Amino acid sequence: MDNELKYGLGNYQQMRRLVLAVLVVVLFLALLFGQSTFPPDTPVHETIEMFGVLLIFLGIVGRLWSTLYIGGRKSSEVVTGGPYSITPNPLYVFSTIAAAGVGAQIGSFSGIILFALLCAGAFHIVILREEKFLKEALGAPYAAYLARVPRFFPKLSLYQEGDTGSFKPRLLLTTLLDGLVFLIALPAFELIDGAQQSGMLPVWFTLP
């Protein structure tokens, strides 16, 4: 039974990684031909990009923090400490924050919102399927936990430190490597900016 639970949860973890990769690739391709209404090297454009870098690092650090608490325990017990005391899905929340940071690399406010909404929407589908699985695996305690904690947007007033359980370096490394996909956006968008400025890439639309 334990192996079945681990296998089932593994499918959702693979799905999460796939969603992350597909979102980054699709949005990257879509924005190959898009540009901010704020020209490169202007204060507004640069400020938005730097804000996005902060969001990306916040997302990566938040994902690592979440893994310290949940690593290897998600299908065996209800974890309610640390980030899991304020939302059942901190990994998805921090991934969405990092995705918003990726959107900021175009130098556009709309890019931040667009990337965050698309990421949150895609994860919402994964969350609903994962909840169904965990309700079957963990029963009434998990259902009671879901009733107490908001599904996605963290409720900071509920925060409790809790117990991190046993530390698993392998899981932490896996989460770090997953998060590095967001950092690819930094040099990628610089290359896109340069190609658009030189005329190598056409600009089909602009985002404010």
CA 145 to chain centre: 22
CA–CA dist 148, 106 (Å, integer): 38
Task: Classify residue 81 by its DSSP letter.
Answer: S
d(CA 162, CA 148): 16
Whether the per-residue pLDDT at 36 is higher than 80: the answer is no
Q: What gap in Å lies between CA 16 and CA 59, rounded to an integer?
A: 15
Give, for 207, the enclosing helix (H) or strand (E): strand 205-207
- φ and ψ at residue 139, rounded to 5 degrees: 70, -145
pTM to 2 decimals? 0.82
Average pLDDT over residues 137-150: 93
Q: How confident is the model over 13-29, as a mean pLDDT? A: 69
Rounded CA gap, 206 and 204, in Å? 7
The rounded distance, in Å, linking the Cα atoms of 102 and 106 is 8
Confidence of residue 3 (pLDDT cuts 50, 70, 90): very low
Pair 119, 95: CB distance under 8 Å? yes
How much is the pLDDT for 82? 92
Structure tokens of 8? 């089932």
Cα–Cα distance between 140 and 135 in angstroms, integer?
Answer: 7
> Does 107 score more than 60 pLDDT?
yes
In 3-state terms, what secondary structure has residue 34?
A: strand
